Amino acid sequence: MLSAPACSGVPGIPGPMWSWNRALPPYRVIDNIYYVGSTEIAQFLITTPEGHILLDSGFEASVPRLRDNVAALGFRFEDIKVILTSHAHIDHVQAHALVRRLTGARVVASARDGAFIEAGGKGESVYDGVYSWTPCPVDRVVSDGDEITLGGTTMAAHLTPGHTMGATTWTMRVKEPGGDPAARPLDVVFFPSANINPGVRLVGNARYPGIAQDFEHSFAVWKALPCDVFLAVHGSFYGMREKRKRQESGAATNPFIDPTGYRRFVSDAEESFRAELASER
């Protein structure tokens, strides 16, 4: 039996990320979407009658806790059939190879980020030579608009590069449990990141020459996406902990239904991007 590691000083987890990786009890977000991540690094389990989808694998050292989180919700870790990728940075993909080996799940990623996953982080435009992970085969490469369907649940891929060359926004539709069965489905957005990492330039970036143009494309996509349920790869992006507290307190409406918060987040991120771009020109 693997034992869960402590939350700090763990081999393989960069020091600046230790505080992101503290344990958090897993919970149901809405319908068949469950939170199985840490205090800041989000991982989502999307359950179906034919097995489950995991969005991001997190750190290798945290896989025992991930497995325990899945079990605590009443599901089998071994029933994970698909591992989706938000983007190829260590805190989201380091455990892809381990989870794939333990479950037999198929790893899904965009072509550009898939190459970095298979290379263990080599060549990645921000952290090449800084962070690495166990190389992992990518079983399916998705293009913009491709869909992954399992057990009646469909996840759509929207390529939104910038934070990484192949960052992917995933979307799906759900019904609010206990809600009006005649009500329209709710659109869910799993946001990857629009952050410009420290030291990254938008102009004259030799390692990623098209970064500014990619961000321009991605903001157009994000603004056009319908969103009722706003989720993301880091809890702070969508106010996860405050929303979870309201949910636990019995809020009349599911706090994760937050279209206004999504629009505000995208607008603020675009404003920051445009300010940085202007400062470099």
Q: Say which residue, 239 or 13, is predicted with more confidence.
A: 239
The whole-number pLDDT of residue 11 equals: 66
pLDDT value of position 118: 98
C-alpha distances (whole Å) from 175 to each of 32, 43, 153, 211 are 9, 20, 12, 36
Q: Parallel, antiparallel, or unpaired for β 80-84 and 106-110?
A: parallel
Phi-psi group of 78: left, alpha or beta (phi > 0 → left; psi -120 to 50 → alpha; rest → beta): alpha
**73/100 Cα distance (integer angstroms):** 20
Please answer whether residues 116 and 122 qualify as being in contact, where contact means their C-beta atoms are separated by less than 8 angstroms: yes
The confidence band for 10, taking pLDDT boundaries of 50, 70 and 90, is low
Strands (E), the chain: 27-30, 33-35, 44-48, 51-55, 80-84, 106-110, 140-142, 147-150, 153-159, 168-174, 186-191, 229-232
Select from 193, 260, 234, 237 the least CA-distant residue to 35. Answer: 234
pLDDT tens-digit series, residues 174-222: 988 777 777 889 999 999 999 999 999 999 999 999 999 999 999 999 9
Sequence-separated (6 or more) residues with CB below 8 Å from residue 187: 171, 173, 225, 226, 227, 228, 229
Tell whether the torsion through CA atoms of 131, 137, 140 and 143 is positive or negative. positive
One-character DSSP codes across 151-168:
TTEEEEEEE--SSSTT-E
pLDDT digits (tens, 9 = 90+) for 40-77: 999 999 999 999 999 999 999 999 999 999 999 999 99
Average the pLDDT over each of 11-15, 158-162, 243-247 and give the range with the smallest value. Answer: 11-15
pLDDT band at residue 6 using 50, 70 and 90 as cut-offs: very low
**Which tens digit of pLDDT belongs to each residue from 246-273?**
999 999 999 999 999 999 999 999 999 9
CB 141 within 8 A of CB 109: yes
Calpha distance 187→33 (Å, rounded): 12
Mean pLDDT, the chain, as a whole number? 94
Q: Which of 111, 124, 133 is nearest to 63 (CA)?
A: 133
pLDDT of residue 8: 39
pLDDT of 281: 87
pTM above 0.85, yes or no: yes
Cβ contacts of residue 87 below 8 Å, gap of 6+?
93, 113, 163, 164, 166, 167, 168, 192, 193, 233
Query: Using 50, 70 and 90 to split pLDDT, how confident is the model at 2?
Result: very low
